[in-house]
Amino acid sequence: MRVLFVDHALGTQQGDGEMQASIGYGAAVVCGYLAGSIPFGLLITKAAGLGDIRAIGSKSIGATNVLRTGRKDLALATLLLDSIKAGLVAFAFAYVFGREIGFVAGAMAFVGHCYPVWLGFKGGKGVATYAGLLPFTSLPGFFVAAPVWLIVFAVTRISSLAALTAAVLVPPGAWLLGERNTVVLVGLTLLSVFVFFTHRANLSRLVKGTEPRFGTPKVKPEA
């Protein structure tokens, strides 16, 4: 009789744990996406009186395109906010439900940033949101991404090349630095592939040698 009671109690606890995990994953998907879909680049530039950021440059709402307005302060603010929105939901869900669910929340913030429902599913390219979730879900991944991006950008002055190089190296680099969580490693791989998809136009220009470098003056057409 006592054995049956213990078995029933263990089964109940297991069922409660599974239900809690299901609720956590569902909430992470919804909350992560909604947080990520906040278009900070668009909101900041409009508030500054610069109009619709989607009408210039790459038409992206991300920090790199905001920088094309000439306002470095607004670009930095966009970069920080786009990173924080992913980091915040990743941290919150990791704290309550565990690292795997935290990663899902951060990954969905990435999706929300790239495909915000409010803007007809046309958003940014996801680099800042990807970077923002790493410190709270995979420190090994962050320790790869940050120096790689900084070094490549410092050498080439090409933001997209720095982002793509970091995306390639994050999954294997994280594994080499000790990341062994299967969900996180698979997630990092999928996000890195996603970064290449959102940068497909940049890839084409890189292959052609026409991708612009920061700090390079534009050539004015001859009169």
- 167-201 tens-digit pLDDT: 999 999 999 999 999 999 999 999 999 999 999 99
Return the domain boundaries, the chain.
16-137, 139-215
The full DSSP string for 96-163 is HH-HHHHHHHHHHHHHHHHS-GGGTT----SHHHHHHHHHHH-HHHHHHHHHHHHHHHHHH--HHHHH
pLDDT digits (tens, 9 = 90+) for 35-93: 999 999 999 999 999 999 999 888 899 999 999 898 999 999 999 999 999 999 999 99
Structure confidence at residue 15 (pLDDT): 60
pLDDT digits (tens, 9 = 90+) for 126-171: 999 999 999 999 999 999 999 999 999 999 999 999 999 999 999 9
